[in-house]
Structure 1
Amino acid sequence: MKRVLLFLATNLAVMLVLSFTASLLGVNRFLTGNGLNLGMLLAFAALMGFGGSFISLLMSKTIAKWSTGAQVITQPGNGTEVWLVQTVQKLADRADLPMPEVAIYEGEANAFATGATRKSSLVAVSTGLLQTMSHDEVEAVLAHEVAHIANGDMVTLTLIQGVVNTFVIFLARVVGYFVDSMLRKNDEESSGPGIGYMITVVVCEIVFGILASIIVATFSRHREYRADAGAAKLMGSPTPMVAALRRLGGLDSEGLPQNMQAMGIAGGKSWLSLFSSHPPIEQRIAALQAKA
């Protein structure tokens, strides 16, 4: 959950900065000054949408380290760190991946993987995870994160986010143009977008952005099933992954801020499950047992 929320938050921040910069440069006026230029608008939306998404991807590892306080293990200082690095190395070899950076951060039981490419990836585990799980269970969680890297999930998420960003920006400005035109249909002196356009675009970007987040979250839930299956394959059996999920189901596995608690993994029994990046634990366990 953590890596997805970090990516989405960064993506939103970058998009807002790009949109504000475009407004200052008068790009909106250029696109709508002489009627709505749909071709130029779509190109502009794609540049902004994919630009924000890929900038977020490139920043993902740095922001993950900064926001969690994760400390990369450069020289193992104790037996736990030695085992952790050796285990990630073993799993990476099985997945035919370059060795990721390995980090530990203070927090409730959780782990995440991130990075722009397979050659620049990071696997981080929390102190809570190491303290509450057995070695087999921790190894299964690490295999899950390595499977995310092997599946190229961060890049795929970036592409999907870029597509939905593009349509959010495009549709918001199309609606904004027509609302503004209706409000100023008897005003023949003004040219270019007015206040109605700007307000409508902001409102539509928020509304369409919420709908777009449902699409991204749906993909994220599917990739969790794939990563669980990938972990079972790397471990040679689904049993350790099932045990790890059962243990996580009885723990506070997120440690999210209060304003984000509703979007945690414990959702899934209300409409808020549409925005959850992870399926309910019991459904993930059932999927693994069905494949076994």
Structure 2
Amino acid sequence: MIRIAFFIITNLAVVCALSLFLLFTHMSSHSIYVLVFSSMILGFTGSIISLLMSKWIAINSMGGKILKYPINEIEKWLTNKIKQQSELIGIKTPQILIYDSNDVNAFATGPNRNSSLIGLSTGLIKNMKSSEIEAVIAHEISHISNGDMVTMVLLQGIVNTFVIFISRFITHLVSGLIYGFNKSENSTLIKVMSYIMCTTMEIIFGILATIITMWFSRKREFYADEGSSKIVGKEKMIAALIRLKKFVPQKSNNLMSAFYINGDMKSIFSKLFMSHPSIERRISNLNKKK
């Protein structure tokens, strides 16, 4: 899912930048309370900045155009459908981004329910029937209505806090055992070694945290599918998923493939990092609903 990819990448960039500053100022080594507080500030800052920048990053990264004034029938139809569904759900109409890509993909992002954006690829518009596109739009509208980006921020902020806290706590403990807690604390060499040690652990714990984040994302996809079914009907959403199945990337070296709305990677390891459940599981979940 593109919105998740943008969110995680921006979050990691912000956290890494602030982490370097925090480590070299040695703020977090003086007391457990300062460590906890600084970890929370650092962890949630990255998530909040990612959320606030989400629309800007999506627009500038994907290219394409914001659909302000529809000039043809398909653009008029898309504008009307998104407006109708937004009014039905009770949210402000999202901005519409159409970007040039052969991938059959769509995403929703934005800091809140009334300041959001829905992106649609030209590949999706060309390869799906109008009823199927309607269901995909409803799926993204459900993400917005459910406040999934905000809940993602809260979750990511919490896991960031734990990753930063544990990494720095272990680094301080190991450095103290090796160099002594009160010896040569200002040594540049010790600071560099501590930074390398802390960064390594942040990467390891960050990977584990990403598994938690992706698990949460997969759960939210089921809710968005169910939300789409309530808006346009279960049959349309299932038809859209069946259509998406035809465009599953079978073999791809593209790191973004795990984020695709039609992602269906096979290995157990790769499934841990997928933002979406398999198409089969999503269809099965909908069929269980009345």
Report the TM-score, using the length of structure 2 for normalisation.
Answer: 0.93
Report the TM-score, using the length of structure 1 for normalisation.
Answer: 0.92
| Corresponding residue for residue 290 of structure 1 | 288
| Corresponding residue for residue 234 of structure 1 | 231
> Which sections of structure 1, spanning at least 5 residues, go unmatched?
none
* 1:42/1:170 contact within 8 Å kept: yes
**Which whole-Å CA distance do the structure 2 matches of 1:54 and 1:134 have between them?**
37
- In the alignment, is residue 244 of structure 1 matched against residue 240 of structure 2? yes
**Which whole-Å CA distance do the structure 2 matches of 1:207 and 1:5 have between them?**
19
> Which amino acid in structure 2 is aligned with residue 158 of structure 1?
V
* 1:137/1:240 contact within 8 Å kept: yes
The alpha-carbon deviation at position 118 of structure 1 amounts to 1.2
The alpha-carbon deviation at position 37 of structure 1 amounts to 0.9
The alpha-carbon deviation at position 192 of structure 1 amounts to 5.0
| Corresponding residue for residue 134 of structure 1 | 129
Write out the 4+ residue segments of structure 1 that deviate beyond 3 Å after TM superposition: 252-257, 259-264
- In the alignment, is residue 200 of structure 1 matched against residue 197 of structure 2? yes
**Which whole-Å CA distance do the structure 1 matches of 2:69 and 2:182 have between them?**
71
Corresponding residue to 2:111 among 113, 116, 128: 116
**Which whole-Å CA distance do the structure 2 matches of 1:159 and 1:178 have between them?**
28
The alpha-carbon deviation at position 22 of structure 1 amounts to 2.5
Partner SS, residue 109 of structure 2? strand
The alpha-carbon deviation at position 16 of structure 1 amounts to 1.0
| Corresponding residue for residue 38 of structure 2 | 44
**Which whole-Å CA distance do the structure 1 matches of 2:228 and 2:151 have between them?**
19
From the superposition, tell whether residues 41 and 106 of structure 1 become closer, same or farther in structure 2 (CA, over 3 Å).
same
Partner SS, residue 266 of structure 1? coil
- In the alignment, is residue 214 of structure 1 matched against residue 211 of structure 2? yes
**Which whole-Å CA distance do the structure 2 matches of 1:59 and 1:249 have between them?**
31
| Corresponding residue for residue 16 of structure 2 | 16
**Which whole-Å CA distance do the structure 1 matches of 2:37 and 2:182 have between them?**
29
**Which whole-Å CA distance do the structure 2 matches of 1:188 and 1:281 have between them?**
57
Corresponding residue to 1:90 among 84, 96, 99: 84
Query: Greater shift after overlay, 73-82 or 195-204?
Result: 195-204
| Corresponding residue for residue 254 of structure 2 | 258
> Which amino acid in structure 1 is aligned with residue 201 of structure 2?
C
From the superposition, tell whether residues 225 and 12 of structure 1 become closer, same or farther in structure 2 (CA, over 3 Å).
same
Query: Greater shift after overlay, 169-178 or 260-269?
Result: 260-269
> Which sections of structure 2, spanning at least 5 residues, go unmatched?
none
> Which amino acid in structure 2 is aligned with residue 291 of structure 1?
K
**Which whole-Å CA distance do the structure 1 matches of 2:17 and 2:252 have between them?**
25
The alpha-carbon deviation at position 102 of structure 1 amounts to 1.2
* 2:258/2:273 contact within 8 Å kept: no
* 1:263/1:272 contact within 8 Å kept: no
Query: Greater shift after overlay, 256-265 or 238-247?
Result: 256-265
> Which amino acid in structure 1 is aligned with residue 282 of structure 2?
R
**Which whole-Å CA distance do the structure 1 matches of 2:20 and 2:56 have between them?**
24
* 2:4/2:259 contact within 8 Å kept: no
Computed over aligned residues only, the root mean square deviation of the Cα atoms, in angstroms, reads: 2.0
> Which amino acid in structure 1 is aligned with residue 89 of structure 2?
A
The alpha-carbon deviation at position 260 of structure 1 amounts to 4.0
| Corresponding residue for residue 172 of structure 2 | 177
Question: Percent of counterpart pairs with the same letter?
Answer: 40
**Which whole-Å CA distance do the structure 2 matches of 1:164 and 1:181 have between them?**
25
The alpha-carbon deviation at position 238 of structure 1 amounts to 0.6
Q: How many residues of Structure 1 are paired with residues of Structure 2 in the alignment?
A: 284
| Corresponding residue for residue 149 of structure 2 | 154
